[in-house]
Amino acid sequence: MLDGYSRQQASRGLAKQTIQMRRWQVERFQRFAGSYPWEWLPGDVEDFTTSLFSGPRPLSRSTVRIYHLTLRAFCDFITDQRYGWVAECRSRFGSVPTQVCFEWNTVAHTVDFEGTPGRRPLDYDELDALFAVADARVETLRQQGRKGALAALRDAQLLKTTYAWGLRRREVLGLDVVDLRTNAKTPQWGRLGLLHVRHGKSSKGSIPKRRSVLSLPEFDWAIDGLRVYVEQVREKFSPGNHPGLWPTERGTRVGDRYLDRRFAQLRDEAGLPSELTLHSLRHSYVTHLIELGYAEQFVQTQVGHAYASTTAIYTSVTDDYRNRVLAAAIDKFYFPEGST
């Protein structure tokens, strides 16, 4: 059954990693239930859900909902008459598989955002503090003559690039030097006019999406920093023919776990809340573009969101911005243009 389900998923063009994860989730449920699919009951799902929410490492609501979606899809497959599993099970075991996931025993998708409430964008002061600590670390290592100053300089620019172009972790780490492109509208920035993202977030297990992220004048400081890094710093890692924008001294790419640890270290040194993560930089980018007056559709395209509602979830404008919008609305209403 699982082999057939995997082939059906593959025929839909889903990524191998997605198929493997869904298969593993079904297998985990099967081990918990201790029975075969044609013996599963709705109560097994309820008990399984309770186990996922409990224990030393309880899963989040959104993760449990993914388990439910996977189980529901698998049950849809094995109960579909066109695949013959119902007839086969009836003939062999005298019992047939049924759907065991329903609205009344699975997690409902009741809100657009199910993440941790503390996850939020960084404000400008927090960004300044984070980047100041990152820059100070470079100088400290240089003055002490300690190993790691070059990596610290790379890491500082990597974090600034993540924010200034609103990139996901995988997107920024997957950048190659050839992904630095020119933009005819901004010739003054040369080949840093835009970043060509080739490792964007896939949709429903498909191949990674590509997009071009335009460089913006409000982040010219990051553009200048990236230019210095590309022209003067990267070559000191002796990357040879390695295409990656962020090479290590061992000739590999910077890894995702390394980047998460580095962000957490700098965040803690800056005295920022622990709930802030690397992804918060992307949230900050979206929020700040909205505050700067960029149209939501433009922001949506920049960050590669398929739906405007996703961009809205990322947005958490400051009270100062809201007050400015309110003041502008009041002026427009009570003091229309041309009035005295």
Map out the domains of the chain as residue ranges.
2-105, 124-327
Angle at 103 between CA 99 and CA 105, to 5 degrees: 75
Give the separation between CA 133 and CA 276, rounded to whole angstroms: 15
Give the separation between CA 195 and CA 213, rounded to whole angstroms: 5
Q: Are 138 and 304 in contact (CB under 8 A)?
A: no
- The domain 2-105 is classified under which CATH number: 1.10.150, 3.40.50, 1.20.120, 1.10.3470? 1.10.150
Give 111's pLDDT tier (boundaries 50, 70, 90): very low
Mean pLDDT of 312-335: 57
CA 224 to chain centre: 26
Give the separation between CA 142 and CA 155, rounded to whole angstroms: 15
pLDDT tens, position by position, 261-287 = 999 999 999 999 998 999 999 999 998
Mean pLDDT of 243-265: 95
Q: Are 226 and 216 in contact (CB under 8 A)?
A: no
- The domain 124-327 is classified under which CATH number: 1.10.240.10, 3.40.50.300, 1.10.3720.10, 1.10.443.10? 1.10.443.10
pLDDT at 340 over 70: no
Give the separation between CA 166 and CA 285, rounded to whole angstroms: 5
Residue 168, pLDDT score: 92
Residue 183 burial by Cβ neighbours in a 10 Å radius (0-12, 13-18, 19+): middle
C-alpha separations of 63 from 59, 69, 115 in Å: 6, 10, 10
Q: Read off the pTM.
A: 0.65
Residue 329, pLDDT score: 55
Residue 6 burial by Cβ neighbours in a 10 Å radius (0-12, 13-18, 19+): middle
Mean pLDDT over each residue of the chain, to the nearest integer: 86
Q: Among residues 264, 294, 258, which one has the least CA distance to residue 281? A: 264
Task: Provide the angle, in degrees to the nearest 10, between the axes of the packed helices 16-33 and 2-11.
Answer: 150
